[in-house]
């Protein structure tokens, strides 16, 4: 079956290889204020030349790319049911994602809301990956 | 939609895996079709008909609410 917009199955492995170190880096940046010095660019002289450390940019880029690779890697035998499950899982994840965002909008206030938005950037992909593989596993396990 | 693919499979004496391989899909797909969770495309139904040697209506049946 022809399916658009999917990566080769090997990207699942690449996805994990990119995601796991990036996730560790991201956690270190977020909770332990890690900054790699060599990633600080700019001299910090004046408004146009501000010092920026790019450790968090690297971490987030890795996390997003890793999750994208995992979400868009084709299954070894990507057929019509799997493609159907894929689309259904996207629908699920968008709905749940915005449901969570709506709840958080009313429950979380102030600066903490920025955290909510940060995690919310990733939840669409995470919920999709979990739901999609949960359905495939369920069908795999229930034999005859 | 209801189907009796499980019965047809028993007649042919093939497993879900073997049926999946013969018509070029994953085993999950056969399982989902047999448990009425997924209605296959016409292409897939025709492939099954060819394999079982009988028309589609004999193993796919419409239900009241279809």
Give the total number of structural domains in chain B: 1
What ipTM was estimated for this complex? Answer: 0.85
Count of CB atoms situated within 10 Å of the CB of A86: 22
The whole-number average pLDDT for the span B25-44 is: 92
Q: What is the pLDDT of residue A3?
A: 59
pLDDT value of residue A142: 79
Option in B29, B31, B41 nearest A142 (CB): B31
Mean pLDDT of chain B: 92
B59 or A46, which is more confident:
B59
Residue A73, beta-bridge partner list: A7
What domain range is B17 assigned to? 2-60
Would residue B22 count as lying in a domain? yes
Q: Supply the CATH number for residue B14's domain.
A: 1.10.260.40
pLDDT category, B50, cuts 50, 70, 90?
A: very high
* B53 in any annotated domain: yes
Q: What does each of the 144 residues of chain A score in pLDDT, given as a tens digit?
A: 565 789 999 999 999 999 999 999 999 988 888 888 787 877 777 777 778 888 889 999 999 999 999 999 999 888 999 999 999 999 999 999 999 999 999 999 998 999 899 899 999 999 999 999 999 999 888 764
pLDDT at A55: 87
Residue of A nearest to B9 (CA): A144
Whether residue B45 has pLDDT greater than 80: yes
Does a structural domain hold residue B34? yes
Which residue of chain B has the CA closest to A140? B28
Hey, what's the torsion of the CAs at A27, A30, A32, A36, to 10 degrees?
90
Instruction: Please state, as a whole number, how many other Cβ atoms lie within 10 Å of the Cβ of residue A69.
Output: 20
> Taking CB atoms and an 8 Å cutoff, what residues of chain A touch B44?
80
Residue B19 in any domain: the answer is: yes
Q: Which residues of chain B have a CB within 8 Å of the CB of A75?
A: 26
Interface contact B5, partner A, CB < 8 A: no
Within a domain: B65: no
- Per the structure block, which two tokens stand in for B15? 């497993």
A74 contacts on B by Cβ (under 8 Å): none
Write the burial class of residue B66 (CB in 10 Å: 0-12 exposed, 13-18 middle, 19+ buried).
Answer: exposed
Interface test with A, best of B28, B29, B31, B32 (most A CBs within 10 A): B28
CA–CA distance, A88 with A19 (Å, rounded to integer)? 24
Query: With an 8 Å Cβ cutoff, is B17 touching chain A?
Result: no
H-run or E-run covering A52: strand A52-53
Q: Do B32 and A81 touch (CB under 8 A)?
A: yes
Residue B22: name the closest of B54, B62, B1, B50 by CA: B50
Q: With respect to residue B24, please indicate whether it lies within any of the assigned structural domains.
A: yes
């Amino acid at each position: 079956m022809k399916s658009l917009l999917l990566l080769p199955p090997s990207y699942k492995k690449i996805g994990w290889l990119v995601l796991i170190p990036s996730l560790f880096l991201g956690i270190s940046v977020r909770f332990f204020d890690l900054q790699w010095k060599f990633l600080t660019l700019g001299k910090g002289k004046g408004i146009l030349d501000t010092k920026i450390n790019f450790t968090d940019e690297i971490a987030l880029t890795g996390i997003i790319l890793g999750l994208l690779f995992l979400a868009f890697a084709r299954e070894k035998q990507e057929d019509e049911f799997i493609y159907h499950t894929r689309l259904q899982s996207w629908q699920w994840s968008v709905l749940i994602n915005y449901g969570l965002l709506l709840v958080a909008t009313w429950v979380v206030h102030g600066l903490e809301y920025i955290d909510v938005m940060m995690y919310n950037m990733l939840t669409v992909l995470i919920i999709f990956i979990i739901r999609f593989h949960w359905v495939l596993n369920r069908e795999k396990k229930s034999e005859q | 939609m209801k189907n009796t693919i499980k019965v047809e499979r028993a007649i042919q004496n093939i497993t879900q895996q073997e049926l999946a391989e013969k018509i070029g899909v994953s085993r999950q797909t056969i399982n989902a079709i047999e448990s009425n969770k997924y209605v296959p495309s016409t292409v897939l139904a025709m492939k099954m008909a060819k394999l079982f040697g009988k028309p589609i209506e004999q193993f796919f049946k419409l239900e009241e609410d279809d």
